[in-house]
Amino acid sequence: MVETQVQKRAGGQQSRRAVKRQRLLQAAARQMNERGAGAISLSEIAEEAGLSRNALYYYVTDRADIAFQCYLQTCEATTESLAIAYEEGGDAIDRIRIYVERMLDFDQPELAALYDPDFLPEPQRSTIFELSRRNVESLQSLIAGGVEQGLFKPVHTEIAAQMLLGMINWTQLSVNWLGQRDGRPLRRRVTKAILDLFFHGLAATSGKEFTCRVEVASLTARPFNAFDRVQATQEKMAQLVDAAARMFNRRGIDGASLDDISASIGATKGAVYHYFDDKMDLITRCYARALELYSLFVDVARQQGTSGFERSMTVLHLNSQAQGSASPPLVMQPGLFSLPEAHRVTFVQQSRDLWDRCAAMVREGIADGSCRECDARAVAHVSAGAFLWLHKWLPEDYPMTTSEIADAQCRVFTNGLVR
């Protein structure tokens, strides 16, 4: 009897610790999505989880440890969702539906979007990358199974899988960037939009094809005169911004240092401080340039497209080209609430304006008969995740050109995967 009571008491203590740990990780994941892994506050996380600062160290050792545990939870949740989808789904369509619904279920604990694993020390960093790689392969297998069963059209499985992951990850961050209020209605709406777009595409006509007539390089070329001191200074600043955006996109804002950025173009950290006040100044310059480019792509799409469908696909294609280029615009990622308030307010308003303009293109396509009936605002919302995730998985030696990758993404979004 005594042993049984001891066991019950120990079991109860373990259960309470598990609940506290889950509250702790959920509070940390929320902060990581808002501020980035390197800017979270352990004191605020402990307070939100109902723990003292001292009690927090019973569960984690430091900021990197709690970030690792959050990323580990994200990977494990993805693995579990894929396994359950495979077991419970009757076919590939059903399995992908179950997977997406589980990942975006509002009643599930919030998960940290996998944008900053480079912030982690080794071997934790390699652990997260390896778990993530296995999950991508599992998702690819689900898609390949649908092709083999004749349910899906022949498709580049890696690109399709990464597009789906991108839309899921973007949904976790977009509520902040678009000034939305997260909740069950929004989650249901975006989940439905992701599945509808992924399975059936945007085109009203089956077998529709799209060809982008614009190259991003022609839009972003900068005139330069080496003997003009003003232009020379502007070019140096532009090169630093390009290098920073490229590094921030691949490693996350907290995973890339000023030393990394300057070294990538053969400069010194002193050169960065010569042109920018600090790292935050460089980050805000990167976002300002990115939002200018995103707006330019929408302007060009409106000028070039002859229908709402063509305009919508042109925006996607140009953004995919840009993200795969050597000078990509900075993607919207964790860390919004670490920005100075004035910049944050401006960037959120610009993001909402872009969202409104893209949603208007889809509505125009529905009206002119080029786009299927769909939730235009939700489709414009989720589709951005496809190109905003591109930099997280695309290696420099990928055996496809930037335009070919953009073509492959547009094929998925034109008619979807389902036959």
Q: Within 10 Å of residue 181's Cβ, how many Cβ atoms?
A: 7
Percent of the chain with pLDDT over 70: 95
Q: 80 in a domain, yes or no?
A: no
Rounded CA-CA distance 155/416 in Å is 10
Residues 414 and 401 sit within 8 Å (Cβ to Cβ): no
Rounded CA-CA distance 414/157 in Å is 16
Q: 198 in a domain, yes or no?
A: no
Please report the pLDDT score of residue 122 as a whole number: 96
Please report the pLDDT score of residue 230 as a whole number: 72
Q: 136 in a domain, yes or no?
A: no
Residues 386 and 407 sit within 8 Å (Cβ to Cβ): no
Q: 88 in a domain, yes or no?
A: no
Rounded CA-CA distance 338/283 in Å is 10
Rounded CA-CA distance 214/414 in Å is 18
Structure tokens at 292: 């200018």
Rounded CA-CA distance 117/232 in Å is 36
- From the list 240, 256, 243, the residue with the least C-alpha distance to 335 is 256
Q: 195 in a domain, yes or no?
A: no
pTM comes to 0.91
Residues 99 and 82 sit within 8 Å (Cβ to Cβ): yes
DSSP 8-state secondary structure symbol assigned to residue 89: -
Residues 401 and 135 sit within 8 Å (Cβ to Cβ): no
Distances (CA, A) of 131 to 8, 52, 67, 101, 282: 35, 32, 15, 21, 32
Please report the pLDDT score of residue 3 as a whole number: 53
- Domain count across the chain: 1
Residues 85 and 143 sit within 8 Å (Cβ to Cβ): no
Q: 363 in a domain, yes or no?
A: yes
Rounded CA-CA distance 45/41 in Å is 6
Please report the pLDDT score of residue 1 as a whole number: 47
Q: 98 in a domain, yes or no?
A: no
Q: 240 in a domain, yes or no?
A: yes
Rounded CA-CA distance 103/293 in Å is 31
CATH code assigned at 328 = 1.10.357.10
| Domain coverage including residue 384 | 216-415
| Residues of the chain with confidence (pLDDT) below 70 | 1-14, 222-228
Please report the pLDDT score of residue 338 as a whole number: 92
Please report the pLDDT score of residue 231 as a whole number: 74
